[in-house]
Amino acid sequence: MSESPESIVSVAVLSKKSFPDWLDAQNASVKTQLSQGKFEGKKGQVALLRDTDGQVMAALCGTGEDAITPYSICPLVDVLKKCSHDFIEDTGFSFEEELSGEEMTNLCIGWGWANYKFDAYKKNKSPVPKLIWPEAADEERAEAFINAICLVRNLVNTPANILNTNELAGVAEDIAKTFDADFRKIVGKDLLDENYPMIYEVGKASENPPQLVEINWGDNSNPRLSLVGKGVVFDTGGLNLKPPQWMGLMKKDMGGSAHVLGLAWLIMSLNLPVRLQVLVSIAENSVSDNAFRPGDVIQSRKGLSVEIIDTDAEGRLVVADAIAKACEDKPDLLIDFCTLTGAARVALGFDIPAFFSNRDEMLDPIKDAGMGNSDPVWPLPLWDGYDREMDSPIADVANDTSMGRAGAIQGGLFLKRFVDPSVDWVHFDCYAWEQYGRAGRPKGGADTGLRAMFHYIESRYGKAS
């Protein structure tokens, strides 16, 4: 975003309702350019208006009948990105200011999201259209939302040969430093000494050591909020090796940890009145002669023994140890984010993360926080009738069933065994990936449920005091 561009193009964001009045006030040239219904303020419609020299002097973006969300402006940004490099480099874009502060803030957020490109490994990089911050926008809030979401995208998009376990822990450490938070990590065999046996077991086959990262931030007098993330930097499936078509995307299996780091970024940037604890279980699920095996029985931090039925159900193992740790500190609210099961995708597809809670009364407020903020989420039940399917003849619990039914619920029920029943708990089984790519949301690493939870947290604890 730039302060001194050579030329400025004004941007009008128009609904179907506001468009006719806006058009009435325009000169004959604009009216001619917009004749024949080329632009009517419909959602996603975009128009570039030119002066007599053919230079672009204004841009229009339609919102139809919908409320303004960050995504509202993204179709326009996508069109601008396809303009000539010279035009993009020399121009600043400035909103016509008739919208509310919140709407302006949303548009700024969307502009930042739409400008995102994962081009770290590309030789040729292209410029992005620069926005001149509107007075009415809350710049701090917009920056926080842009940075948090782009952090998630970058982390998920970065391949596992680069974002290995040490690197992911390093990113968490950098974030802690940015906000002057306490940081601690427990690495490799130390996980056994400190009683995180399941994180160790899952990650021990990789030369990149497993680790548990902990960040603590905020005033001790505030209610404690714990975030737990699945940080499997690559999931081969282990000895229960994934077939190629399922393994290809598994660099994104640390998406849950990207979500909690992004959410933590938002909470700390906007200084929410909570005492925040972030726990990230980091491991690479690899194949090696020392890999954990189907049939193994392993111990857990909580004291439950776990029979390994499937080494590909590794996420619930690493996360369960972190959940047990979080519960020892008695949080007011515990939230975990995991790319836990393919079954959640069978149930709800790519766009909608499944979430679960041990408090039925929290389901609607969380669903509403998502649906009302362009971040759809939907609840599934922790149906305890299915618990018995995880009975093991030789251990306290098995990490999979042979039933092949309700896999996302099974994942949730497994984690529930490690949750202290007195703690309010929410579990997200998310995809962390945009499958198709759409305006403001390029194909690749993506937030799925993060903003829903931020809005829920903000309504539960209030904004910064």
Contact residues for ligand BES, defined by CB under 6 A:
235, 253, 310, 312-315, 339-343, 345, 400, 407, 431
| Residue of 230, 252, 435 whose CA lies nearest to 351 | 435
Beta strand pairing call for 333-338 and 224-235: parallel
Report the residue closest to ligand BES, judged by CB.
Answer: 342
CB of 415 to ligand BES, least distance (A): 13
Q: What are phi and psi of 359, to 5 degrees?
A: -125, 105
Choosing from 316, 325, 416, 460, which is the catalytic residue?
316
Examine the residue annotation and report whether 123 is marked as an active-site residue of this protein. Answer: no
What is the x/- site pattern for Zn ion, positions 200-239, by CB under 5 A?
Answer: --------------------------------x--x----
Query: Between residues 313 and 377, which has the closer beta carbon with respect to ligand BES?
Result: 313
Q: Cα separation of 295 and 236, whole Å?
A: 18
Q: Cα separation of 55 and 57, whole Å?
A: 6
> ∠ CA(118), CA(121), CA(122), 5° rounding?
85
Query: Between residues 23 and 247, which has the closer beta carbon with respect to ligand BES?
Result: 247
Q: Which amino acid, one-letter code, is at 389?
A: E
3-state SS, residue 111: helix
Choosing from 117, 242, 367, 438, which is the catalytic residue?
242
CB of 285 to ligand BES, least distance (A): 7
What is the x/- site pattern for Zn ion, positions 285-314, by CB under 5 A?
Answer: ---------------------------x-x
Q: Cα separation of 418 and 34, whole Å?
A: 61
CB of 398 to Zn ion, least distance (A): 15
Q: How many Cβ atoms are within 10 Å of 103's Cβ, its own excluded?
A: 20
Beta strand pairing call for 46-50 and 7-15: unpaired
Query: Between residues 83 and 347, which has the closer beta carbon with respect to ligand BES?
Result: 347
Query: Between residues 120 and 403, which has the closer beta carbon with respect to Zn ion?
Result: 403
Query: Between residues 214 and 400, which has the closer beta carbon with respect to ligand BES?
Result: 400
Examine the residue annotation and report whether 316 is marked as an active-site residue of this protein. Answer: yes
Residue of 253, 321, 336, 375 interacting with Zn ion (CB under 5 A): 253
CB of 235 to Zn ion, least distance (A): 4
Q: Which listed option, Zn ion, ligand BES, none, makes contact with residue 332 (CB within 5 to 8 Å by class)? A: none
Q: Which listed option, Zn ion, ligand BES, none, makes contact with residue 343 (CB within 5 to 8 Å by class)? A: ligand BES
Residue 361 burial (CB < 10 Å; 0-12/13-18/19+)?
Answer: exposed
Query: Between residues 103 and 429, which has the closer beta carbon with respect to Zn ion?
Result: 429
Strand partners, 95: 11
Beta strand pairing call for 378-379 and 305-307: unpaired
CB of 409 to Zn ion, least distance (A): 17
CB of 186 to ligand BES, least distance (A): 22
Q: Which listed option, ligand BES, Zn ion, none, makes contact with residue 342 (CB within 5 to 8 Å by class)? A: ligand BES
Q: What are phi and psi of 335, to 5 degrees?
A: -125, 130
Strand partners, 398: 307
Q: Which listed option, ligand BES, Zn ion, none, makes contact with residue 341 (CB within 5 to 8 Å by class)? A: ligand BES
Q: How many Cβ atoms are within 10 Å of 237's Cβ, its own excluded?
A: 19
Q: Which listed option, ligand BES, Zn ion, none, makes contact with residue 5 (CB within 5 to 8 Å by class)? A: none
Contact call for residues 267 and 464 (beta carbons, < 8 A): no
CB of 414 to Zn ion, least distance (A): 13
Residue 282 burial (CB < 10 Å; 0-12/13-18/19+)?
Answer: buried
Query: Between residues 103 and 235, which has the closer beta carbon with respect to Zn ion?
Result: 235
Number of residues that bind Zn ion (CB under 5 A): 6
Tokens 């001619």 -> residue? 32
Q: Cα separation of 432 and 153, whole Å?
A: 8
Q: Which residues are catalytic?
A: 242, 316
Which residues lie near Zn ion (CB under 5 A)?
232, 235, 253, 312, 314-315
